[in-house]
Amino acid sequence: MAIGDAVLGTSSATAITWGPLLSSTVMNYLDSGMLRDQVHKRSPFWSWLREGNRIKRLTGGERIKLPVMYEGSGNFKRYSGLEALDPTGYEGITNAFFNWKQAATSVVISGLDKRSNQGESRIRDLTKDKIFQAESTLADNLATDAYSDGTANGSKQTTGLSAMVDSTPATGTYGDINAANNSAWRNNAITGVGNGAVNLLPNLRTIYNDCTEVSGVEGEPDGIFTTQSIAETLESLVVPAIRYTGGGTSDLSSRPTFRGASINFESKCQSGTMYVLNSKHIFSFVHRDADFAMADGGLQNPVNQDAFIAPILYQGNMGTNLRNALGILTGIT
């Protein structure tokens, strides 16, 4: 009998093999994409990325490579008739590089749970409860990582919005590109906003326009992310002119908007901070073999634990290809 193939019951005709049943229940849930969907839906930011089709599955590579245009071709020419065109080649395109970041949680069934839940329906119900527990853990931590600067746990954390959209954009290196030497690789930032009831709306207008008037930008900012208190302040400032999205099945369909950008709040967002984002230029990358997938070893039965363990793996990171299409407001009170 293989490891994990513990048999429940005493009758060989009705015996249930614990290991394969647990493994198949977890695998079916993962393969259906339901866990991935539920994790994304629990976070306004991940929901927004998902709806914008900005979660990209990759097949490999030592690092994540994202092409970045920092200037136009430079060989535009107005001409007449047979006049020679300008064949001059320009680089103008480089690559931003992002390291893979890894995370995992596990569906854990203790020996006590196993022996206390006999019968196929009870096994499946218990396993689903444990999957929900893992799902909640993943959702909470990935939401935290979305707003991170990537330095936690010895820089093992996802390189999130705090690094991508910096309050001091002319300093530091992001995606292996030095912002101090590349003005096009600097997001827009307004710091020290102060009293939100007085200063938030005019500063938001400015940062929104700054993010729109950018060479190479696609569309306009379509997502605003902040804390609950700041979102409520903004909503009160734009009522009754505020517009709510609606008429569709979107998870964001009840969110208020500013110039078409959904206003979202999330507890993981830094205090006093508002991000103004464009989903056309933000990406979440995930390795196709670790997109909330069970580890290659499948269901495990450690020799030193009375338990069955099904590790669920995530490997990915975030990035942008047009940093100056993004903006941040800080110091909002």
Domain boundaries, the chain: 13-68+93-329
8 Å CB contact between 266 and 257: no
Q: What is the mean pLDDT of residues 54-60?
A: 92
Confidence grade of residue 20 (pLDDT, cut at 50, 70, 90): confident
CA neighbor of 255 nearest in space, from 211, 221, 225: 225
Q: What is the pLDDT of residue 136?
A: 83
The three-state (H, E, C) secondary structure of 174-238, written as one string:
ECCEEHHHCHHHCCEEECCCECHHHHHHHHHHHHHHHHHCCCCCCCCCCEEEECHHHHHHHHHHH
Tell me which range, 69-73, 294-298, 301-305, is most confidently predicted by mean pLDDT: 301-305
- CA–CA distance, 5 with 153 (Å, rounded to integer): 36
> pLDDT band at residue 58, thresholds of 50, 70 and 90?
very high
Average pLDDT in the 74-91 region? 66
How many DSSP H helices and E strands does the chain contain?
Answer: 9, 17
Please state the rounded mean pLDDT for residues 67-92: 66
| C-alpha Rg value of the chain to the nearest Å | 24
What would the pLDDT profile of 72-82 be if each residue is shown by its tens digit? 545 666 767 77
The tens digit of pLDDT for each residue in 202-223 reads 999 999 999 998 888 899 999 9
- Say which range, 13-27, 62-76, 181-195, 295-309, has the weakest mean pLDDT: 13-27
What is the pTM for the complete model shown?
Answer: 0.84
The pLDDT of residue 88 is above 70: no
